[in-house]
């Protein structure tokens, strides 16, 4: 499983990229607004992220009609070769994804929750599908169980005749809230987990690692 960072914060991206495990970035309108981003600077900001990351960078269209999403998608894809256009799972989104994929523009279909949504996203030509985990938990449903169903259903079929350049569809575990979400998504066979910075940091930490390190350092002092 690859690690993407779910953020629009350049400092977080720079730091995570320096760890050597970052394979991509996903952004969304909320994450961009959270860093105080402004519409006029959006293309420039996405370009900065694309230059910092050796991997796909998802930039979202907020348009509601297929023609507008296609127009957005073309504009976003022109920013950098590693841009992936993020499109919401909805009828207009499916139609736009079909058109963008036909032009060789990769799409990450977002706000995906259920198996039928995921299968439709795949059939429309999405290169990435982002089933959300945490938002199911927010409404007292089992986000990981829903995610497992999507992974299994997508794995049952070959969608390579629908994707850009016949590439394998990749499932991005999204709305990830904990290291346990990351662990379970990996066990279920997620291709990618897109993780907020604080959670990504927690993925490398464990109390037993800290305790073991403390002991090693103390014992090493004894041999000085």
Q: How far is the CB of 130 from ligand G3P (least distance, A)?
A: 6
Q: How far is the CB of 136 from ligand G3P (least distance, A)?
A: 10
In sequence order, which residues have a C-beta less than 8 Å from that of residue 1 and are 6 or more positions away?
Answer: 185, 186, 190, 191, 192, 193
Q: How far is the CB of 177 from ligand G3P (least distance, A)?
A: 6
**By the criterion CB under 6 A, which residues form the site for ligand G3P?**
6, 26, 28, 132, 134-135, 174-175, 194
Q: Could you give the CA distance from residue 177 to residue 147 in angstroms, rounded to a whole number?
A: 14
Answer yes or no: 47 catalytic: no
Q: Could you give the CA distance from residue 175 to residue 160 in angstroms, rounded to a whole number?
A: 26
**CB closer to ligand G3P out of 70 and 195:** 195
Q: Other C-beta atoms within 10 Å of 91: how many?
A: 9
Strand residues in the chain grouped as ranges (E) = 2-6, 22-26, 57-60, 83-88, 107-112, 128-131, 170-173, 192-195
**CB closer to ligand G3P out of 55 and 134:** 134
**CB closer to ligand G3P out of 61 and 175:** 175
Catalytic residues: 86
């Amino acid at each position: 499983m690859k690690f993407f960072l779910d953020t629009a914060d350049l400092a977080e991206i720079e730091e995570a990229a320096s760890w050597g495990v970052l394979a991509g970035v996903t952004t969304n309108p909320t994450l961009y607004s959270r860093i105080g981003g402004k519409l006029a600077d959006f293309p420039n900001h996405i370009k900065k992220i694309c230059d910092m990351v050796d991997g796909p960078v998802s930039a979202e269209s907020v348009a509601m009609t297929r023609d507008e999403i296609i127009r957005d998608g073309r504009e976003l894809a022109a920013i950098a070769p590693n841009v992936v256009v993020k499109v919401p799972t909805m009828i207009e989104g499916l139609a736009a994804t079909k058109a963008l994929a036909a032009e060789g523009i990769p799409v990450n279909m977002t706000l995906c929750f259920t198996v039928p949504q995921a299968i439709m996203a795949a059939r429309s030509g999405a290169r990435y599908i982002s089933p959300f985990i945490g938002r199911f938990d927010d409404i007292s449903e089992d986000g990981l169980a829903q995610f497992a169903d999507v992974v299994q259903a997508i794995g049952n079929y070959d969608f390579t005749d629908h994707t850009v350049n016949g590439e394998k569809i990749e499932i991005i575990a999204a709305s990830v809230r904990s290291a346990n979400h990351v662990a379970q998504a990996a066990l279920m066979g997620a291709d990618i987990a897109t993780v907020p910075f604080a959670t990504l940091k927690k993925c490398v930490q464990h109390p037993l690692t800290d305790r073991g390190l403390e002991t090693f350092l103390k014992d090493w002092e004894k041999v000085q």
